[in-house]
Each structure stands twice: as structure tokens, then as C-alpha cells.
């Protein structure tokens, strides 16, 4: 058996993709990880489709040249719902995208009312219309785009406190809509949001369930890498930012405890 050190590359605008890394590492504990955050382009959710489409394939091309991954996970709903076909066309590698987990949410909902919580860019994508029509046609699907929750998740991982009021205000964007009090499942349609799940549960109505794409992506990565070799010894994961400022340095310090080397810049 050979010692295959080619990593899996996870890409997001910031720390959100770590919510996809965690279930993947749980399934594939020997997988070497490169985690790439486009901190210079953060946040994506308030950008136009054109900006995301121009930025993401080019960056992933540079990252693929530098790190030679065996597979790339776009661990970002915003980038995936806008740029996945362009990335797949540009790179000769398996690319796994992250799209809103509307299907499992519709399967789990008893009230047939689900909330989709994403970035402003994600919730307006036709991709979300398609997923709703295919998997939740008999549900009322309410959407809310939150830039504030993205910021709060970044702040949390940089060691800052998260104010419960700020989280509650964003959830009110869903529950405050007409019919919103019937929501029993929330789709975390931004990879940053599972990082705030404890804070969201603390302020959400009792019994509301949260679903996200992380576990499904981990299973998909396991299928796509089935039969491949992994390093015999655990390797240190790599962390790369497109801009390395104070906040990124603090995030880097936090991630050292999770097996990541000091951050690099692209
Ligand atoms: N984590 C990203 C997503 O899943 C985007 C957050 C942002 O940069 O606005 O959509």
C-alpha cells in the first residue's frame, strides 16, 4: 500500500468551511486537509454573482496548482450555487459543492414549513428555486439572508464573544415572516451557520431542528475517495488565507489546537 499524501482541499470565503471539514475528518481521519479561506474576498454573501463567478474559479486554479489536491470541496453555499459549473469546467479534478440541504429538511419537517437561512446571495439563487421545486414542492419555504450571522461566526472563531441578542435578531428574520411561526426545520444554507448552532438553539423556539450539508458532503467525499490510499502517519493540516491580518492570525491560533500548521498566504 502506498503512502498517498495528496490532500483534500476545502475552500470558503472564511471559517465556515470548517463545519464541513469536521464531519469529513470524522469519516476520514487520515485525510490530509488544506483549508483555504479567501479572506481578501470575504464576505461573499454581499457580493454580486459576477464578482463571485470571476473570483472563485481563478482562485481555485491557483490553489490546485500549489497544493495538488486529490479532490476539492467548495465548502461555501454562495460560491457553489453561483460558480460550481465554471469551476468544474476549469479544473480536471473531482469537485464537490455545498448546496442548501433542502431535501433532508423537507423529509424531516412535520409542519411542512421550513426556513432557509443563507447569505443574501445564496437565498436569491435560482438553484434554491430548483431545489425547492424538486424536493419541497409541498412545503412552505421561507428564506432569509443574513450577513450578520456570517460576521458573528468569524468573530466566534477568532475568540470574540457572540451576543445572544444579535443571533435572535437574525432568526427573527425567518420566524417573523408571515407563517414563520410554523417553521420546524431550519436549513443552515451557509457553512458559517453550523458554527453558531449552539447560540441559535439557545434563542430558537423549542423543538426547531437544524440541518446542514456537512454530513452529506463528508459521505460524498468518502465515496469519491474509496479505494484510495492515505498517509500512514497523521499529517499536519495546512491553512491558507488570501490575506493574513490580525483576525486570521487569531483564527490560526485557534486552529493549531485542531491539527493545523501556522497559516500561509496565497
Ligand atoms: N460560508 C459561505 C456560505 O456558505 C459564505 C459566507 C460569506 O462570505 O458571506 O455561503
Which pLDDT score, from 0 to 100, does residue 2 have? 65
C-alpha cell at 89: 469546467
Ligand 1 atom closest to 76 (CA): 4
Residue 150 C-alpha to ligand 1 middle, in angstroms? Answer: 7
Which pLDDT score, from 0 to 100, does residue 219 have? 98
Domains located in the chain, CATH noted: 8-98+215-265 (3.40.50.1860), 102-212 (3.40.50.1860)
Active site residues: 76, 190
Residue 40 C-alpha to ligand 1 middle, in angstroms? Answer: 13
* Pocket test residue of 76, 99, 120 for ligand 1, highest count of atoms within 8 A of CB: 76
- Between CA 83 and CA 195 the distance in angstroms is 24
Ligand 1 atom closest to 189 (CA): 4
Chunked into runs of 10 residues, the chain (266 residues) has average pLDDT values of 86 98 97 98 98 97 98 98 97 97 98 98 96 98 98 95 97 98 98 98 97 97 97 93 96 92 95
Ligand 1 surroundings by CB, under 6 angstroms = 12-14, 16, 42-45, 76-78, 119, 122, 150, 190-192
Which pLDDT score, from 0 to 100, does residue 3 have? 79
Amino acid at each position: 500500500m502506498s503512502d498517498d499524501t495528496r490532500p483534500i482541499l476545502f475552500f470558503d470565503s472564511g471559517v465556515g468551511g470548517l463545519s464541513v471539514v469536521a464531519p469529513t475528518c470524522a469519516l476520514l481521519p487520515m485525510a490530509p486537509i488544506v483549508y483555504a479561506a479567501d479572506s481578501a474576498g470575504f464576505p461573499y454573501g454581499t457580493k454580486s454573482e459576477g464578482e463571485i463567478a470571476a473570483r472563485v474559479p481563478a482562485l481555485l486554479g491557483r490553489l490546485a496548482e500549489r497544493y495538488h489536491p486529490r479532490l476539492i470541496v467548495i465548502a461555501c453555499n454562495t460560491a457553489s450555487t453561483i460558480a460550481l459549473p465554471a469551476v468544474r469546467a476549469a479544473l480536471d479534478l473531482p469537485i464537490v459543492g455545498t448546496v442548501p440541504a433542502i431535501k433532508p429538511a423537507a423529509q424531516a419537517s412535520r409542519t411542512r414549513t421550513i426556513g432557509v437561512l443563507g447569505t443574501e446571495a445564496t437565498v436569491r439563487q435560482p438553484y434554491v428555486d430548483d431545489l425547492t421545486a424538486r424536493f419541497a414542492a409541498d412545503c412552505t419555504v421561507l428564506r432569509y439572508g443574513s450577513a450578520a450571522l456570517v460576521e458573528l461566526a468569524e468573530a466566534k472563531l477568532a475568540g470574540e464573544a457572540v451576543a445572544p441578542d444579535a443571533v435572535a435578531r437574525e432568526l427573527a428574520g425567518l420566524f417573523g415572516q408571515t407563517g414563520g411561526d410554523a417553521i420546524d426545520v431550519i436549513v443552515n444554507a451557509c457553512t458559517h451557520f453550523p458554527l453558531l448552532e449552539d447560540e441559535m438553539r439557545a434563542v430558537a423556539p423549542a423543538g426547531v431542528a437544524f440541518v446542514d450539508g456537512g454530513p452529506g458532503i463528508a459521505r460524498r467525499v468518502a465515496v469519491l475517495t474509496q479505494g484510495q490510499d492515505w498517509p500512514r502517519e497523521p499529517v499536519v493540516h495546512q491553512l491558507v488565507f488570501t490575506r493574513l491580518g490580525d483576525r486570521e492570525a487569531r483564527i490560526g491560533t485557534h486552529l493549531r489546537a485542531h491539527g493545523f500548521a501556522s497559516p500561509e498566504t496565497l
